């Protein structure tokens, strides 16, 4: 009988594969959190890495129980900081400075593309 002929063998194979990938995700999340935590001493980081290598499932569960709250806080802080950096970058590249905007409007006014009233509206909007 072939492996692929039995439904439960296939189910068990997929289940163990999912558990293995979830475990790998947890290990890499913990390693990333260890090196992101600046309050933790380097020796404690080495101890956690040692136990993750030699007692993987137990140390993964202990780490999540002991330091899970701090892990969540660091993750939230990092996401907030990344969002602020992205927002500031978008603001910096998307909007021109008021001086540049008024200079462009003045060039359009001199070329006759816009009227004096439109130039005044653009100037007021840029200065607000």
What pLDDT, on a 0 to 100 scale, did the predictor assign at position 93?
78
Nearest CA to 122 out of 90, 107, 88 is that of 107
What pLDDT, on a 0 to 100 scale, did the predictor assign at position 65?
92
Quote the DSSP letter at residue 112. Answer: T
Segments of the chain with pLDDT less than 70: 1-4, 95-96
What pLDDT, on a 0 to 100 scale, did the predictor assign at position 117?
92
What pLDDT, on a 0 to 100 scale, did the predictor assign at position 18?
97
Residues 62-71: contacts with CB within 8 Å, 24+ apart?
A: 63/30, 64/26, 64/30, 67/33, 70/37, 71/29, 71/30, 71/33
What pLDDT, on a 0 to 100 scale, did the predictor assign at position 1?
57
What pLDDT, on a 0 to 100 scale, did the predictor assign at position 2?
67
The pTM of the full predicted model, rounded to 2 decimals, is 0.60
């Amino acid at each position: 009988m072939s492996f692929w002929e039995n439904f439960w063998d296939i189910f068990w194979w997929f289940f163990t594969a999912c558990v293995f990938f979830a475990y790998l995700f947890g290990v890499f999340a913990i390693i990333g959190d260890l090196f992101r935590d600046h309050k933790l001493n380097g020796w404690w980081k080495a101890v956690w890495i040692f136990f993750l290598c030699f007692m993987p499932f137990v140390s993964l569960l202990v780490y999540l129980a002991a330091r899970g709250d701090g892990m969540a806080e660091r993750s939230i802080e990092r996401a907030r900081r990344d969002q602020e950096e992205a927002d500031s970058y978008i603001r910096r590249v998307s909007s021109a400075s008021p001086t540049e905007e008024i200079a462009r409007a003045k060039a359009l006014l001199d070329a006759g593309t816009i009227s004096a009233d439109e130039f005044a509206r653009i100037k007021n909007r840029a200065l607000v």
